[in-house]
Amino acid sequence: MPIRLLSLPIDDLQYTLNCMDIGDLIAFSLCSKRTKNLVKASNRKMRPIEVYVKENYIRFEIREGNDYESISFHIFDFYIKLIRKEFKVWRKREFTQIDWIAHFISIVNGSMIDYLNIDTVSLSYLDAVYQFFPKCHRLDINERSSREFTKIAFWKLYPIAEKLDINKNIFDNDENDISKYLALNLTELSFIDWQKPFKLELEDLLVLNIARLTISPTNITEKELNRFLKLWMKGNHKFYRPNNIRLSLRNLVNREEVLRGVKYQIVSNRPQLKRADGKEVLITIRGRCVTFNFQG
Amino acid sequence: MSSTEQGTSSAAPAEPTTAPESAAAPEVPESFYYVHGKDKVVHKVSAGALQHSALIHGMISNLGYTEEQAKANPFPFENIDGDILQMVVDWCNQHKGKPTPPEDTNLPKQKEKLFDLVLAVNYLEIKELLTYCCKQVAMMVKGKSPEEIREIWMIPTDAEDEAAEKEAKKRAGKEAAGETAAAAGDAK
């Protein structure tokens, strides 16, 4: 027997929506513009949303605040598949993939998704992805993708992301172009490929314009790191954007070589360098890993 | 006016006192109040059971009725159907002086009555019962598709919403025009 839900007093209606699980709430939001607005206004707390881009569909992984069980929505061109305990297919007249995605993003509190993972897709589809997701917190280009694809995907999509994870060495070490990437104005970039170390030179570190950089592993030497520290010390009043550089070397780091001839003090058991303009760098050396934390 | 005595009949005679203060204090005879709905059937309910309703509890506290006065002046709830009020009274009696459990299996199962029950419970301000009712309403669409939800909850389509909005605007316009004409007539 049906009941007129929308005629309930607003508090009761809101409480009823709060009692629904996220899958049912999304189904409800698809009933009409009014129900969509009600769901938006309910401000349902959700855990960061993960999106996986595949060639034929886009997968949304949604979790509730304290629920570890996620619900997946596979968004195809003209329908979506809900994956819970069983498969369900929903269609909505005149809805295409971009409408489904816009609907999802608008009801999950804001336009930013937390994690966007890109698998190998056609290059034309990358343009569509750029349209679908105007912003994401973290962009991860799947390590299974080819070097060429990863490069193209990086250049097409880096403007939408705050953080980028590149899990493949996309550089030809004979024609090293890593500095082009490092000079970009990004918040966070991580290059990781344990099969093929990244070629990194002193000049690359000097042009660095990324706030947080991770490279694992790299073939930069302790000698170059030592020169980098000395040049940084000399660069009084010179703007240097990075606040954290984390590098994994191929072998155990020789601490003495990194700090040779550099004047430092020990703070929290770690060497700290201080420039005349008050800027500081705290250095952590552990195993194969060196981290520079810039302050001031 | 007929009368049922739900409060007295459903209360177990050997029921232990549940209020903590009454364990130490000498036993005070329980007071009863009377309510009726649209069907005018009067229900006798104990003050303890009625405490679930913030609305009735507030009325009782303000009035200070004696038993005789209470009998002579049952609280009228003309906006609540008799059978719905009966459900509410039953629930209040069953949960008199007891902490409400997280899930209530005693909730009425008739879905057709659920909507009226939510409205009544909302009006009577019975928070715990309202919580259960809303959960029950939410459960009606568990695992359903948008189309099924639209049917179960009678959700109008966008076109229907737009038509209703147009109609409401038209009506409001007419009413405003009528008021203006009447005001002009009065001025003459």
Query: Is pLDDT of B15 > 70?
Result: no
Shortest CA distance from B135: residue in chain A: A19
Q: What is the pLDDT of residue B2?
A: 44
Place of tokens 């459900």: B87
Return mean pLDDT, chain A: 90
Q: What is the pLDDT of residues A244-287, one digit of tens each?
A: 999 999 999 999 999 999 999 999 999 999 998 889 999 999 99
Give chain A positions within 8 Å (CB) of B139.
Answer: 19
**Residue from the list B131, B137, B144 with its beta carbon closest to the beta carbon of A27:** B144
Percent of the residues in chain A that have a pLDDT greater than 70, as a whole number: 94
Structure tokens at A54: 């595949």
Q: Within this chain, do residues B144 and B179 fall inside the same structural domain, yes or no? A: no
Please tell me the distance from the alpha carbon of residue B127 to that of residue A23, in angstroms, as a whole number.
Answer: 26
Q: Within this chain, do residues B41 and B76 fall inside the same structural domain, yes or no? A: yes
Query: Is pLDDT of A143 > 70?
Result: yes
Greater model confidence, A218 or A240: A218
Best A4, A7, A8 member to test B by mutation, with max B CBs in 10 Å, is A8
Spell out where chain A has E strands: 50-53, 58-62, 71-75, 79-83, 87-91, 113-118, 136-141, 161-166, 188-192, 212-218, 244-249, 265-267, 270-274, 280-286, 289-295
Q: Is B135 close to A19, i.e. CB distance below 8 A?
A: yes
Q: Within this chain, do residues B83 and B21 fall inside the same structural domain, yes or no? A: yes
Q: Within this chain, do residues B99 and B162 fall inside the same structural domain, yes or no? A: no
- Residue A174's pLDDT band (boundaries 50, 70, 90)? low
Query: Is pLDDT of B11 > 90?
Result: no
Q: Which range marks the domain in which residue B54 is found?
A: 3-151
Mean pLDDT of A146-163: 93
Please tell me the distance from the alpha carbon of residue A253 to that of residue A247, in angstroms, as a whole number.
Answer: 10
Q: Within this chain, do residues B140 and B175 fall inside the same structural domain, yes or no? A: no
| Strand-pair partners of A292 | A245, A283
Query: Is pLDDT of B70 > 80?
Result: no
Please tell me the distance from the alpha carbon of residue A111 to that of residue A104, in angstroms, as a whole number.
Answer: 9
Q: pTM score, two decimals? A: 0.77
Q: What is the pLDDT of residue B3?
A: 46
Query: Is pLDDT of A290 > 70?
Result: yes
Q: What is the pLDDT of residue A228?
A: 95
Q: Within this chain, do residues B98 and B173 fall inside the same structural domain, yes or no? A: no
Shortest CA distance from A36: residue in chain B: B158
Considering only A140-144, B1-5, B87-91, which range has the smallest mean pLDDT? B1-5
Query: Is pLDDT of B28 > 80?
Result: no
Best B118, B126, B165 member to test A by mutation, with max A CBs in 10 Å, is B118
Mean pLDDT of A202-209: 93
Shortest CA distance from A86: residue in chain B: B143
Q: What is the CATH number of the domain that holds B7?
A: 3.30.710.10
Compute the residue count for chain B.
Answer: 188
Taking each helix axis from N to C end, the angle separating A10-19 and B127-139, rounded to the nearest 10 degrees, works out to 60
Mean pLDDT of A18-37: 92
Q: Is A32 close to B157, i.e. CB distance below 8 A?
A: yes
Q: Is A12 close to B118, i.e. CB distance below 8 A?
A: yes
Best A21, A32, A33 member to test B by mutation, with max B CBs in 10 Å, is A32
Q: Within this chain, do residues B65 and B98 fall inside the same structural domain, yes or no? A: yes
Give chain B positions within 8 Å (CB) of A19.
Answer: 134-135, 137-139
Give chain B positions within 8 Å (CB) of A3.
Answer: 111-112, 114-115, 137, 140, 152-154
Percent of the residues in chain A that have a pLDDT greater than 90, as a whole number: 62
| Strand-pair partners of A285 | A290
Query: Is pLDDT of B6 > 60?
Result: no
Q: What is the pLDDT of residues A32-64, one digit of tens each?
A: 999 999 999 988 877 788 999 998 899 998 887
Q: What is the pLDDT of residues B105-153, one digit of tens each?
A: 566 666 668 888 888 999 999 988 888 888 888 998 999 999 999 999 9
Structure tokens at A96: 């295409």
Please tell me the distance from the alpha carbon of residue B131 to that of residue B139, in angstroms, as a whole number.
Answer: 12
Q: What is the pLDDT of residues B100-111, one digit of tens each?
A: 666 665 666 666
Contacts of A212 (CB under 8 A, 6+ apart): A163, A187, A188, A189, A242, A243, A244, A245, A246
- Written as one letter, the residue type at B125 is E
DSSP letter at A94?
T
Shortest CA distance from A28: residue in chain B: B146
Domain count, chain B: 2
Q: Is A27 close to B145, i.e. CB distance below 8 A?
A: yes
Q: Within this chain, do residues B115 and B183 fall inside the same structural domain, yes or no? A: no
Give chain A positions within 8 Å (CB) of B143.
Answer: 23-24, 84, 88
ipTM of the complex: 0.75
Q: What is the pLDDT of residues A84-124, one digit of tens each?
A: 777 889 988 888 999 999 898 888 766 578 999 999 888 88
